[in-house]
Amino acid sequence: MATDYNALGQKIKSFFKGEIFTDIKTLDTYNHDASLFLVEPNLVAFPKDSEDIQKLVKFVVENKKDNPELSVTARSAGTCMSGGSLNDSIILDVTKHISGVLSFQGDEVTVLPGTFYRDFEVETLKKGLILPSYPASKNLCAIGGIVSNNSGGEKTLAYGKTEKYVEQLKVVFSDGNEYVVKPLNKEELDAKINQGDFEGSIYKEIFELVSQNRELLKNAKPNVSKNSAGYYLWNVWDGVTFDLNKLIVGSQGTLGIVTEVKFKLVPVKKKSKLFVIFLRNLDHLSDIVNEILPFKPESLESYDDNTMKLAIKFLPSMLKVMKTKNFFKLIFGFFPEVWMMLTGGVPKLILLVEFSGDDGSEIDGKMIELQKKIAHFKFKTRISKTEGESEKYWTIRRESFNLLRQHVKGRRTAPFVDDIIVRPEFLPEFLPKMRKILDDYKLLYTIAGHAGDGNFHIIPLMDMRKQKNVDVITEISDKVYDLVLSYKGSITAEHNDGIIRTPYLLKMFGPEVCALFKRTKDIFDPQNIFNPGKKVGGTKEYMYTHLAKK
């Protein structure tokens, strides 16, 4: 018998301070994110505070037996490209009420999960501080998603991903209570285990799981600079410190609902300049990356020829995104790139090498030395003279996905192999092989990403109304992921598993490690009430049947 969500909604309203909606208009607003999927929820809730979340979780647990499909997915900005914020039961939107910066203490900040990063950054910059793991969607995303996906972005090369900056979390576990999660020494861990309650059992069972499977987990950890696939069980216990935050960050809300975050921030560097390299081909990509890395750039990003063409084609939209007081000067600023395309063709790849620091002359010195170092490649280069000149390149890199979503008619962005990573030394072999797979299917696509990490975002454009395009998604995914894994890479470096990649975790990790993932989910969430089908239990059939055919 199907669950009567209207009746459940009325019951929830009796104890819930926030708003509850079951109308079609609201449900349709939450049936999609930035992924390929369409999943219609049955109820959308806007909690006022953590107490609302705790009461709702307890309600779901109490009613799960009579309504087996009942579950809850926490959602913030809905910018997930893997379908991680979708659910056909209850969506819990924290952006309406559970937002804002609570306090600063030195270089630490406490913030609520519904806070948009763009608002958060305004406050941190007032203190001369920044969270450096922000993603390219920094103008759209929110803190809850950054934590749930273990986000990374253009500064990850120098600073690492979000897990490095989470000092403490408050999390509602599946018993409906809120807990403080922070790093523990062995004595503190033993005390936690000896509590004998639900929280204590989580600590006890996870400690046993990681201790008894240390070698298996050590070998399972992908040999790349960043990874978002699976549960990060290998990070929890280093022999000195036990930190469940290392597991909860990146778990896509499948282990509990984060209600508060304490970050450690880093100082903003006063000056930065961009060194741009235009590669005619990919023959020397790993060589040039390896020559750049010893100079310790803050960022080493890239985008391909299709992205550059897109930016020039939709120049007016690009200009709207860029903040400038001199519109015509900005237009003229793109003329060198247009002229280069007309006279010498479009470069296969554009590398953005950013140097930051407090001493401008030191930055200039590094750039001059780098220019000399790579001169033998005979690639065209450019050193940005102003922030505005740097901004045009960064805007192309950050906004390419949105340009595709907004302007390409008859096709849509299809992020399904959008976040692969291999070690940079493999790129000259790997990228042509990957492009051949895509080209064999005659796909139109863009490639952008983090060249310094070997992490690339491939976004095909497809007409999902055509069944043949729907049918090739799993076929292409299998081929691309087989290629990635042959180079011992990861199927997702930043965007996480969600609906789109959970079915491929068995391919990546094998049955023994996936069994540990399943055990982890059961320890935290024995009734499977938190964001089901992500990390554990997702299938290709579910993925296929929920593709948005439009």
Residue 505 lies in a domain: no
Between the two ends of the chain, the Cα-to-Cα distance in Å is: 31
Give how far Cα 405 sits from Cα of 36, 127, 411, 471, Å: 11, 35, 9, 21
Q: Are residues 283 and 238 in the same domain?
A: no
**What's the confidence (pLDDT) of residue 354?**
93
**What's the confidence (pLDDT) of residue 446?**
82
**What's the confidence (pLDDT) of residue 318?**
58
* Rounded CA separation 386/25 (Å): 46
Quote the distance between the C-alpha of residue 68 and its chain's center. Answer: 30
Tell me, what CATH number does 46's domain have? 3.30.43.10
**What's the confidence (pLDDT) of residue 392?**
75
Q: Which of 376, 407, 438 is the last residue of a domain?
A: 407
Could you count the other beta carbons within 10 Å of the beta carbon of residue 261?
27
Residue with tokens 């897990």: 163
Lowest mean pLDDT among 152-156, 328-332, 378-382: 328-332
Could you count the other beta carbons within 10 Å of the beta carbon of residue 515?
12
CA 398, 32, 533 angle in degrees (round to 5)? 105
* Rounded CA separation 188/191 (Å): 5
Residue 303 lies in a domain: yes
Q: Are residues 253 and 287 in the same domain?
A: no
pLDDT at 331 exceeding the cut of 70: no
Q: Are residues 254 and 281 in the same domain?
A: no
Lowest mean pLDDT among 92-101, 191-200, 401-410, 501-510: 401-410
Residue 219 lies in a domain: yes
pLDDT at 329 exceeding the cut of 70: no
Q: Are residues 427 and 467 in the same domain?
A: yes
Tell me, what CATH number does 160's domain have? 3.30.465.10
Mean pLDDT, the chain, whole residue set: 91
**AA letter at 341:** M
Question: What is the residue range of 196's domain?
Answer: 101-267
* Rounded CA separation 128/126 (Å): 6
pLDDT tens, residue by residue, 280-310:
888 888 889 989 999 999 999 988 887 777 7
Q: Are residues 230 and 282 in the same domain?
A: no
Q: Are residues 229 and 144 in the same domain?
A: yes
**What's the confidence (pLDDT) of residue 339?**
58
**What's the confidence (pLDDT) of residue 136?**
86
Residue 489 lies in a domain: yes
**What's the confidence (pLDDT) of residue 218?**
96
**What's the confidence (pLDDT) of residue 328?**
46
- Residue 437 DSSP label: H
Q: Which two tokens stand for residue 439?
A: 């080209």
> What's the number of domains the chain is made of?
4
Lowest mean pLDDT among 34-43, 171-180, 435-444: 435-444
Q: Which of 365, 380, 407 is the last residue of a domain?
A: 407
**What's the confidence (pLDDT) of residue 237?**
97
Residue 231 banded pLDDT, cuts 50, 70, 90: very high
Q: Are residues 53 and 89 in the same domain?
A: yes
**What's the confidence (pLDDT) of residue 342?**
58
pTM of the model: 0.92
Percent of the residues in the chain that have a pLDDT greater than 70, as a whole number? 91
Residue 521 lies in a domain: no
**What's the confidence (pLDDT) of residue 48?**
98
pLDDT tens, residue by residue, 69-120:
999 999 999 999 999 999 999 999 999 999 999 999 999 999 999 999 999 9
- Half-sphere exposure (Cβ direction) of 339: Cα atoms closer than 13 Å: 6
* Rounded CA separation 44/40 (Å): 10
Q: Which two tokens stand for residue 308?
A: 């550059």
Lowest mean pLDDT among 103-107, 152-156, 443-447, 519-523: 443-447
Averaged pLDDT, 527-531: 98
Residue 512 lies in a domain: no
pLDDT tens, residue by residue, 25-79:
999 999 999 999 999 999 999 999 999 999 999 999 999 999 999 999 999 999 9
| Sequence-distant (≥ 6) Cβ neighbours of residue 28 within 8 angstroms | 40
Lowest mean pLDDT among 161-165, 196-200, 254-258, 360-364: 360-364
Task: Compute the CA torsion angle 275, 278, 284, 287 (nearest 10 deg).
Answer: 0
Q: Are residues 133 and 240 in the same domain?
A: yes
- Residue 308 DSSP label: H
Q: Which two tokens stand for residue 418?
A: 């959008």
**What's the confidence (pLDDT) of residue 317?**
64
* Rounded CA separation 486/524 (Å): 33
Lowest mean pLDDT among 134-143, 234-243, 479-488: 134-143
Percent of the residues in the chain that have a pLDDT greater than 90, as a whole number? 73
pLDDT tens, residue by residue, 533-542:
999 999 999 9
Residue 189 lies in a domain: yes
Q: Are residues 372 and 315 in the same domain?
A: yes
Helix, strand or coil, per DSSP, at residue 443: coil
Q: Which two tokens stand for residue 76?
A: 């913030």
Q: Are residues 315 and 390 in the same domain?
A: yes
**What's the confidence (pLDDT) of residue 307?**
78
Averaged pLDDT, 235-248: 97
* Rounded CA separation 482/447 (Å): 19
Task: Assign 3-class secondary structure to 113-163.
Answer: CCCEHHHHHHHHHHCCEECCCCCCCCCCCEHHHHHHHCCCCCCHHHHCCHH
Higher per-residue confidence, 227 vs 312: 227
Q: Which of 383, 407, 431 is the last residue of a domain?
A: 407
**What's the confidence (pLDDT) of residue 322?**
57
Could you count the other beta carbons within 10 Å of the beta carbon of residue 104?
16
Tell me, what CATH number does 421's domain have? 3.30.70.2740
**What's the confidence (pLDDT) of residue 326?**
46
Handedness of CA 24, 27, 33, 37 (dihedral sign): negative
**What's the confidence (pLDDT) of residue 303?**
85
pLDDT at 241 exceeding the cut of 90: yes
Q: Are residues 218 and 294 in the same domain?
A: no
Could you count the other beta carbons within 10 Å of the beta carbon of residue 15?
12
Q: Are residues 48 and 86 in the same domain?
A: yes
Residue 483 lies in a domain: yes
Residue 409 banded pLDDT, cuts 50, 70, 90: low
pLDDT at 327 exceeding the cut of 50: no
